[in-house]
Amino acid sequence: MKNLYDRPKWIVWAFVLLFLIAITSPFWLWQLKASSKLDVLIFDKTVPDRSYREHKGLTWILNNEKYVKTDGSSYSAANDYIGFKPEKNSGYRVDELTGSLAEYDLFYFADQYGVYKEEYEGQNPKGERSELLYGGLKQKDVEKVQAALNKGGKTIISEFNTFGSPTAETVRNGISNIHNIDWSGWNGRFFQDLGSREVPLWIKDQYTKESGKWNFTGAGFIFVNQDDYIAVVSDQELSDKDGASFSLTKPGDKFFRESYLSQYQYWFDIVSARNEEEVLATYRLPLNQKGKEKLAGYGIPESFPAVIRHHNARYSAYYFAGDYADEAEVPGLYQTKGLTDWKRNFSAKNSFYWNTYVPMMKEILNKGMHGKVKSSSAEVSNRNGISYNGRTDKNKIQVLKDGKWQDITIKGVNMGIGKPGYFPGETAITKDEYLRWLKAIGAMNANSLRIYTLHPPEFYEAFYEYNQTAEHPLYLFHGAWVNEEMLVEAEDAYSEGTQADFKREIRQMIDIIHGNAEIAPVRGHASGKYAHDISQYVLGFIIGIEWDPEVVSNTDMLHKGMRPYKGEYFMATEQASPFESWITEMMDYTAAYETKQYNWQHTMSFTNWVTTDLLEHPNEPLEKEDLATVNPNHIKNTSQFGAGLFASYHVYPYYPDSLHYEKKYTDYMDKEGKKNHYAGYLHDLISAHRMPLVVAEFGVPASRGMTHENHSGMNQGNLSEDEQGRINVKLFKSILSEGGAGGMVFTWQDEWFKRTWNTMDYDNPDRRPYWPNVQTNEQNFGLLSFEPGRRGSELRVDGNREDWDKKKAKPAFKSKKGFVKDVYFTSDEGYLYYMLELNEPADWDTDHLYLLMDIADEQGQHHFELEKGVQASTDLGIDFKLELTGNQTSRLMVDSYYDPFYFQYGNILKMIPEKEYARKKGNGIFHPIKLALNKAVYLPKNKETLPFQSYETGRMRFGNANPSSPQFDSLADICLSKDKRLIEGRIPWQLLNVKDPSTKEIMGDLWKKGLQGSEKTEGINMEIAAVRDGKLSETIPVENEMKTEKGGPLYYTWDEWEQPTTHERLKKSYVYMKKAYGEPFVQEGKSE
């Protein structure tokens, strides 16, 4: 073979040249690549040294992909970021966000944890905690970034520890809204060896302090919640030891178009997406069954989001639930092409940074930055110089779409003005809360929102901003409230005070929606400067309230013979009553003011309800419920009003009684071929109107307590969230199938300040907003619940003890012998909780447990029967007896002397038989706890008298009350663990005659002070008795006899509060309504 050197020189040089080209191609190909301008603001508050590791991995990607700043320069990890900046000699400076931020295309929030004193000074190699120098997001940070994002065309990416300590909760709410996610309160990390020095010392110390000695070794996960509680999953609870599995979801596959299967082994936070469709990737923890059960007890899911993308018309937001950009060992050389692929496939194929983060970031930077999206718009028509965005035909409200009038089916929700800890008149809902709620309402596929009265400026600002970012408009039906107290007192709608106050409310409403109002503070009313014009998104006005029939009747009587009102925009027909003429005049006043002040008109309606409808109800047992009529057909708009008129009614399936006593309704067959009294009533109601009819309120409450019951099961209360959702969907379908123009479910959020007739005498009306009363159905209509406690630290009745550990609960009793092993008590704003651990499994056929409670002084039972043939004696005065005797028989009983139901309906109202023994203390008799449902009523058409109705609300329901469980039952009171060795339960405060748990106010001696009387309790003394095989086998705290001094071992007390601690949770019924509102029940879009 000839030697290479014997060949012509040009061939040799050609080989050399080709070789050089090949080996240098990554460099010159990179040089040939065009650079792209991208202004990135990196915000990193965790820079304890000059390695810049928390964002160094990001700057390498930006430079490798040839993204440059406006001046054409590349990115420097040391200089191109905002936050904590180390300097020589242990000095530092802090750069804050300043200016408008308009020049930036991308905001990248790296770790916001901050820098601590000893860590920065290099004196903390073991990971001990020290003083915070700088860290945590601030309100001004979030506000500035939010303002920049709202201007449009920008992207934000945030990482792990954006939400955790030391960021304040109020600030967390703002950044959560930007990303449309919620933090669970938990962070976690995988460790290859739990016994190594890599585990921070403060974690080991905290665990030892709370749970015992740290003796873990081998692989495992450590979880830390916002209260610094430490949970550990050891290698004995893992199915493999490679960390959390990272994988894309179906939306993620579609978005990234390649697989990023990998293992993640560093810090992460546990978040949830408010819209599951926005989750692009998830983690899955490698848990065996033991590990799954352990984390379920803490409320930690096995799988949770890793990457979430929230996209709207103004900006795109990505959240990485991990410390992804934290990569200290990146190559010093970035001017090369193909290095990512080499690292990913060969030299660093197990690295999450190279295998997942780098290609994912490159894809986002290349194709995932925010592009132009058409924002929501409500088209506006103009006729003779007057603007309007809606009109009505015979059956539907119509809106403009692409220049043509199209039918719109109203799929809406009502929103009140209250939240926990405040009365409505305090108008305390924040802009962040409003914005979060509006996003959830939009995600529910609703197209309409109704409010009843003037809200604070924060609502209108949030509503405006929401519609600027939404891809589909959310319309508003705005109400003008009549001062009900003034109206009822005058018993005349034409009274000067009523009219003047109502007209003022109308003027303010119109000025506010046009962004032209400044209202001075008035106690009990919204006030402030209203500068946001939302008129294009207001679809209609619904003025007034549910009219008191006696006011309507008296107004008609006082003004009998008056001529019907004739206005410029609305007129009453010749058949109109004086009250109907008054409403016509108020609608005309509304139209005239808006037309002349703003050259605008909006569709018009007034509030109505079944009590004052235009139908006759011959079987209505209560005269007042069929006393008066307010007929929308007696009101017409003139040719000067182009926006149209519609009827709006509040229609519920349980009230008034005539709806389920009228045979033609109860026998009515709906479109699905099922008997449906609600549809039967709607059929008659809608058919009787000559205009579109919107059911402006419909729904049922997911409450424990009940107020009305009917044969269909669509009751006012004692419904689970699942039942609430199913019934609400049925009601909405009935509205549409019977020809309604749509409906608005009642209501968005639970309202703690509300009352209802059968519980209102049992609580303190001045303290209602400070605690949730699940016995009062009116408080629990919402699709959004306010759960007691901080997110992640709440207690769930699900048969697991881990959340008791998380709350750092201490046992009230411990024993290694006997039936009962441990006894625990705790409480929150809504319930008293108990947990009994047993030394052997419970068998309800032979084992019965009794929790005896003494809450009131100088009364209660001392000698009584636990169950048939088993007597008990105690020095305590037992006011309540909780009988844990089985799935169908467990109940809470009350001392007959301390029974408010009997005292009210037996002693005062004489509606149930009197029991002479009940007025005597220590009579030895306990009563079932009941609520009234209806007094005895006479059905005039049937000529039938129905007896007094009540039901036993003290029955204890077994089930799983953990919303994360597939077996979730929101009505569950008790849960028995799988091994039957743990009984966990909760008792609503009102069942214990507590009038206000926030101040420890309870009912006093009913027979001396009445229902209005009260006293303050210091706490609850308790005893436990076990009956096995029909014999008293055990008592706690003293065996074989019950002699306990107050304040003894089973004494429980709690801290008072002035502001409740809560977190929001979308109920199961929300999911039902989201699906219902997303389905095409009727053909929409008829245009002309």
Q: Kindly tell me the burial class for residue 1028, based on how many C-beta atoms sit within 10 Å of its own C-beta (0-12, 13-18, 19 or more).
A: middle
pLDDT above 80: residue 29:
no
> Any idea which residue has 């203390």 for tokens?
921
Q: Which of 885, 892, 880, 858 is nearest to 870 (CA)?
A: 885
Going by pLDDT thresholds of 50, 70 and 90, the confidence category of residue 1043 is: very low
How far, in Å, are 653, 661, 684, 933 from residue 711 at the CA level?
Answer: 11, 10, 20, 14
pLDDT of residue 622: 79
Q: Dig out the tokens for 1045 from the structure.
A: 């001094």
pLDDT of residue 491: 96
Q: Which of 423, 422, 452, 458 is nearest to 437 (CA)?
A: 458
DSSP three-state, residue 155 = strand
Domain spans of the chain, in order of start: 1-30, 33-368, 388-784+1067-1077, 790-1060
Q: How many CB atoms lie within 10 A of CB 866?
A: 18
Q: How many CB atoms lie within 10 A of CB 154?
A: 22
pLDDT of residue 1048: 62
CB 1013 within 8 A of CB 1006: yes
Spatial distance between the Cα atoms of 28 and 544, rounded to a whole number of angstroms: 75
pLDDT of residue 16: 66
pLDDT above 90: residue 348:
no
Spatial distance between the Cα atoms of 773 and 784, rounded to a whole number of angstroms: 15
Contacts of 63 (CB under 8 A, 6+ apart): 74, 75, 334, 335
Going by pLDDT thresholds of 50, 70 and 90, the confidence category of residue 1 is: very low
pLDDT of residue 435: 96
List beta partners, residue 381.
388
CB 953 within 8 A of CB 900: no
Spatial distance between the Cα atoms of 235 and 243, rounded to a whole number of angstroms: 11
Spatial distance between the Cα atoms of 993 and 1013, rounded to a whole number of angstroms: 12
Q: Decide the pairing of beta strands 279-284 and 303-311.
A: antiparallel
What value does the mean pLDDT take over residues 1062-1069? 97
* CATH class, 388-784+1067-1077 region: alpha beta
User: Amino acid identity, residue 505?
Assistant: E
pLDDT of residue 1084: 54
pLDDT digits (tens, 9 = 90+) for 981-1025: 999 999 999 999 999 999 999 999 999 999 999 999 999 999 999
pLDDT digits (tens, 9 = 90+) for 213-232: 999 999 999 999 999 999 99
pLDDT of residue 88: 82
Average pLDDT along the chain: 93
pLDDT of residue 24: 64
Q: How many CB atoms lie within 10 A of CB 287?
A: 21
Spatial distance between the Cα atoms of 155 and 174, rounded to a whole number of angstroms: 16
Q: Which of 649, 658, 654 is nearest to 626 (CA)?
A: 658
pLDDT of residue 626: 78
Spatial distance between the Cα atoms of 1077 and 501, rounded to a whole number of angstroms: 37
Spatial distance between the Cα atoms of 64 and 333, rounded to a whole number of angstroms: 9
Which of 249-263, 525-539, 665-679, 1031-1045 has the least mean pLDDT?
A: 1031-1045
Q: Dig out the tokens for 213 from the structure.
A: 């000695």
DSSP three-state, residue 162 = coil
Main-chain phi, psi angles of 4, to 5 degrees: -55, -35
What is the dihedral angle through the alpha carbons of 578, 584, 590, 595, rounded to the nearest 10 degrees?
-140
pLDDT above 90: residue 636:
yes
User: Amino acid identity, residue 280?
Assistant: L
Main-chain phi, psi angles of 878, to 5 degrees: -80, 115
Q: Dig out the tokens for 715 from the structure.
A: 């009751």
Going by pLDDT thresholds of 50, 70 and 90, the confidence category of residue 1082 is: very low
pLDDT of residue 336: 84
What value does the mean pLDDT take over residues 237-260? 94
- Is-above-0.85 flag for pTM? yes
Alpha-helix residue ranges (DSSP H) falling in 275-399 = 289-298, 339-342, 352, 358-363
pLDDT of residue 14: 67
Give the chain's count of helices (H) and strands (E): 24, 60
Going by pLDDT thresholds of 50, 70 and 90, the confidence category of residue 1040 is: very low
pLDDT above 90: residue 558:
yes
Going by pLDDT thresholds of 50, 70 and 90, the confidence category of residue 857 is: very high
Which of 215-219, 623-627, 807-811, 1078-1082 has the least mean pLDDT?
A: 1078-1082
Element housing 555 (H / E): helix 549-558
Q: Decide the pairing of beta strands 716-717 and 706-708.
A: antiparallel
Contacts of 4 (CB under 8 A, 6+ apart): 12
Q: Which of 104, 97, 129 is nearest to 114 (CA)?
A: 129
List beta partners, residue 318.
157, 309
Going by pLDDT thresholds of 50, 70 and 90, the confidence category of residue 901 is: very high
Q: Which of 219, 231, 230 is nearest to 193 (CA)?
A: 219
> Any idea which residue has 């894809």 for tokens?
363
Q: Decide the pairing of beta strands 538-543 and 1031-1036.
A: unpaired
pLDDT digits (tens, 9 = 90+) for 295-322: 999 999 999 999 999 999 999 999 999 9
Packing angle, helices 457-469 and 139-150, rounded to 10? 50
User: Beta-strand (E) ranges in 294-396?
Assistant: 303-311, 315-320, 381-383, 386-388, 390-392
CB 461 within 8 A of CB 513: no
CB 663 within 8 A of CB 594: no
> Any idea which residue has 């010159």 for tokens?
28
Q: Dig out the tokens for 378 from the structure.
A: 């409500």
User: Amino acid identity, residue 922?
Assistant: G
pLDDT of residue 1041: 42
pLDDT above 80: residue 424:
yes
Q: How many CB atoms lie within 10 A of CB 317?
A: 24
Spatial distance between the Cα atoms of 684 and 662, rounded to a whole number of angstroms: 12
CB 909 within 8 A of CB 942: no
pLDDT above 50: residue 1044:
no
pLDDT of residue 623: 78
User: Beta-strand (E) ranges in 481-590?
Assistant: 517-519, 528-530, 538-543, 570-572
Percent of all residues in the chain with a pLDDT value above 70, rounded to a whole number: 94
Q: Decide the pairing of beta strands 410-415 and 448-451.
A: parallel
Q: Which of 356, 275, 305 is nearest to 186 (CA)?
A: 305
pLDDT above 80: residue 786:
yes
pLDDT digits (tens, 9 = 90+) for 745-777: 999 999 999 999 999 999 999 999 999 999 999
DSSP three-state, residue 256 = helix
pLDDT of residue 1039: 47
DSSP three-state, residue 53 = helix
What value does the mean pLDDT take over residues 404-419? 97
DSSP three-state, residue 165 = coil
Percent of all residues in the chain with a pLDDT value above 90, rounded to a whole number: 82
Going by pLDDT thresholds of 50, 70 and 90, the confidence category of residue 7 is: low
